[in-house]
């Protein structure tokens, strides 16, 4: 790793000290990470996020005082530019959909290997959506079962192009370069896409489009931490 590369500044929030210590230890084995703060509950996480403004917050779901879902909603309202990776033992469908609807960039199980979790943090920092294959399949199934309850507006050809590139892990800047449009225009298209699909995040928008057959399910964007 080139020493001139700025490390990814990470905040860890988990109510189990041993879990936080383990995550910190293996992340710090990589020179591209800097752990800037740790929190043992959701309210402390909010305070430390506001104070330190990390690049990525790694959150557990079940924490005292405020859950990872609550912290995610708060972050999207107050600090929308920070990447959010939920690292949890829960793979229950309601948890998955709730945290992604709240605006998390990724959802990874604690059964993943240290290398897989480290890569998930990198992917979230790069603007990608991160789900393992099992979680992705659960989410598609749940969204498909709800398809009749929430009618989505059709996307324009340009919006489908933008969403398809987002599904492959392209950042806004990369999408703009590929399509010959500005980052701001890409952001505008994504805002319209989220509104039409009643989605709160790239992940949810992509999954809804997959469930409706608008884009194929074999997506490079799914950073399969089970690989």
Residue 148 is given by DSSP the state: T
List all residues 6 or more positions away from 24 whose beta carbon is below 8 Å from its beta carbon.
12, 35, 38
Three-state DSSP class for residue 123: helix
Query: Within the chain, how many helices (H) and strands (E) appear?
Result: 10, 6
What's the whole-number mean pLDDT along residues 185-214? 83
Closest among 123, 63, 127, 125 to 99, alpha carbons compared? 63
pTM of the model: 0.68
Domains of the chain from N-terminus onward: 8-128 (3.40.50.2300), 148-211 (1.10.10.10)
The full DSSP string for 43-106 is: HHHHHHHHHH--SEEEE-SS-SSS-HHHHHHHHHHH-TTSEEEEEES---HHHHHHHHHHT-SE
Q: What is the pLDDT of residues 44-99, one digit of tens each?
A: 999 999 999 999 999 999 899 999 999 999 998 999 889 999 998 877 766 777 88
pLDDT at 221 > cutoff 50: no
Q: What is the pLDDT of residues 30-40, one digit of tens each?
A: 999 999 999 99
Closest among 222, 215, 100, 217 to 163, alpha carbons compared? 215
């Amino acid at each position: 790793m080139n020493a001139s590369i700025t490390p990814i500044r990470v905040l860890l929030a988990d109510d189990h000290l041993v879990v936080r210590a383990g995550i910190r230890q293996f992340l710090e084995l990589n020179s591209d990470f800097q752990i800037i703060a740790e929190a043992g509950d959701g309210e402390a996480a909010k305070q430390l996020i506001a104070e330190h403004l990390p690049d990525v917050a790694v959150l557990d779901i079940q924490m005292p005082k405020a859950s990872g879902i609550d912290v995610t909603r708060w972050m999207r309202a107050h600090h929308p530019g920070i990447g959010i990776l939920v690292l949890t033992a829960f793979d229950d469908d309601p948890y998955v959909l709730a945290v992604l609807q709240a605006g998390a960039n990724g959802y990874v199980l604690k059964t993943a290997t240290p290398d897989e979790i480290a890569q998930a943090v990198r992917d979230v920092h790069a603007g990608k959506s991160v789900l393992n294959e099992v979680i992705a399949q659960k989410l598609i199934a749940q969204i498909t079962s709800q398809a009749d309850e929430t009618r989505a507006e059709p996307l324009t050809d340009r919006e489908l192009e933008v969403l398809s590139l987002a599904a492959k892990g392209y950042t806004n800047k990369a999408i703009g370069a590929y399509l010959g449009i500005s980052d701001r225009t890409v952001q505008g298209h994504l805002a319209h896409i989220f509104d039409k699909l009643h989605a709160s995040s790239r992940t949810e928008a992509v999954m809804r489009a997959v469930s409706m057959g608008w884009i194929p399910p074999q997506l490079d964007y799914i950073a399969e931490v089970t690989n």
